[in-house]
Amino acid sequence: MDEALGLAEFCRQLPKVELHAHLSGSVSETTIQKLQVKKGVGHDHAHQGDIAIGKGETRHLEEPFRIFKIIQDLSDTEEAIFTMTEDVISEFAADGVRYLELRSTPRHVPHTGMTPSTYVESILSAIQTCKDREDVVVRLLLAIDRRQSVETATTTVRLAQEYVLRSDGVVVGIDLSGNPAVGDGRDFIPVLKEAQNSGLKLALHIAEISQQATSPETAALLSLPPDRVGHGTFIHHNQDLADMVVDKNIPFEICLTSNVKAQTVASYSDHHFQHWYSKKHPCVLCTDDKGVFCTTLSEEYRHAAETFQLTRPDLWDLSYHSIDHTFGGEDLKQQLRDKWNTEKEKLFQTT
């Protein structure tokens, strides 16, 4: 193994899987400025401190949702959505991500004429544009926002069902997300079951805040069961919930920096990743919102290595086994494993 390769560079060159990336929250400062120019507003419209939580900063969980609103105000047309998606994909690819699942809530913006369908079409168009140019496979989850009505959620699921057939396999699942302090996830269980019964995968934000560790909502959502849990920050605080996750072998989408900066965990060393990783439960390192939280997936791997004393072979295994939890089909998973094994020879060469 090339020990001369620094840890940060090793993590960057490591082929990686990103399974928890919100489109709006993944937009970089560069893209924000590009959107400002297209919208005809000055660069002082949203300073970097307003749209991102920088290194060493922490802010209450409510803050990222305020930032998302700023970004959404700049991205209220199909052209802006295309630009955002294209840039986000390119940036993930440059960071060594070889399989990417984006998630986004279809939006209706009457004053620009953008509909949920044209919103999804714009994302799919950008994915198609990047397909041959970037060395990354991209899939899409349509997101249900907890603040929305069940009727709107049903529309989102029906849209996903339609695009499963029309997107050549790009649309693969449903995400349940949004401010965890708002609403009750149990309201969406019937529509989530409909999605599941139609073959869509489920990635659900569950027990993201402490009060959800004792909420009936959490057990109800886990009972579906979802194909992956987003965050699951406080599940291990409740033995019954932890047993459910273990019994169903539900993987965790782990977002270290996001949880630390949003103050749902006190520090990297306090993160629940260690609890589940030590038990050999499936965990996938993710960014959540790389733009808002000023991180990259390579940095998440570096944080994991430095905080939890993971070796480079540990990091490799973590990345390689993440392929098992993608929402791509078995043929695609095998293609990714072959790609990873080819990359491994280069990455672990002797000096």
What's the CATH number where 129 sits?
A: 3.20.20.140
List of the chain residues with pLDDT < 50: 1-2, 44-49, 59, 350-351
Alpha-carbon distance 141 to 21, whole Å? 10
Contacts of residue 350, Cβ cutoff 8 Å, sequence gap at least 6: 1, 2
Taking Cα atoms as reference points, which of 199, 250, 201 lies closest to residue 228? 250
Give the other-Cβ count within 10 Å of 309's Cβ: 8
Q: Which residues pair with 228 in a beta bridge?
A: 203
Q: Is residue 2 part of a domain?
A: no
pLDDT at 56: 52
pLDDT at 73: 87
For the entire predicted model, the pTM comes to 0.93
pLDDT at 49: 46
Q: Is residue 306 part of a domain?
A: yes
Dihedral through CA 111, CA 117, CA 119, CA 121, nearest 10?
-140
pLDDT at 55: 52
pLDDT at 221: 98
Q: Is residue 1 part of a domain?
A: no
Question: What is the number of domains present in the chain?
Answer: 1
pLDDT at 346: 87
* Residue matched to tokens 């990047």: 130
pLDDT at 115: 97
pLDDT at 5: 78
* Residue matched to tokens 């009972």: 223
pLDDT at 350: 44
Secondary structure (3-state) at 341? helix
Q: Is residue 176 part of a domain?
A: yes
Alpha-carbon distance 146 to 205, whole Å? 10
Q: Is residue 49 part of a domain?
A: yes
pLDDT at 48: 45
DSSP 8-state code for residue 152: H
Q: Is residue 142 part of a domain?
A: yes
* Residue matched to tokens 């790009």: 170
Range of the domain at 167: 7-347
pLDDT at 2: 44
Strands ordered across the beta sheet of 16-22: 16-22, 97-104, 137-145, 171-177, 201-206, 228-231, 252-254, 283-285
Q: Is residue 205 part of a domain?
A: yes
Alpha-carbon distance 249 to 272, whole Å? 16
**Which active-site residues does the annotation give?**
208
Which ranges of the chain would DSSP assign to H, the alpha helix? 7-13, 29-39, 48-51, 62-74, 78-94, 116-131, 150-166, 189-197, 216-222, 239-248, 256-261, 273-278, 297-308, 312-322, 330-347
Alpha-carbon distance 142 to 180, whole Å? 18
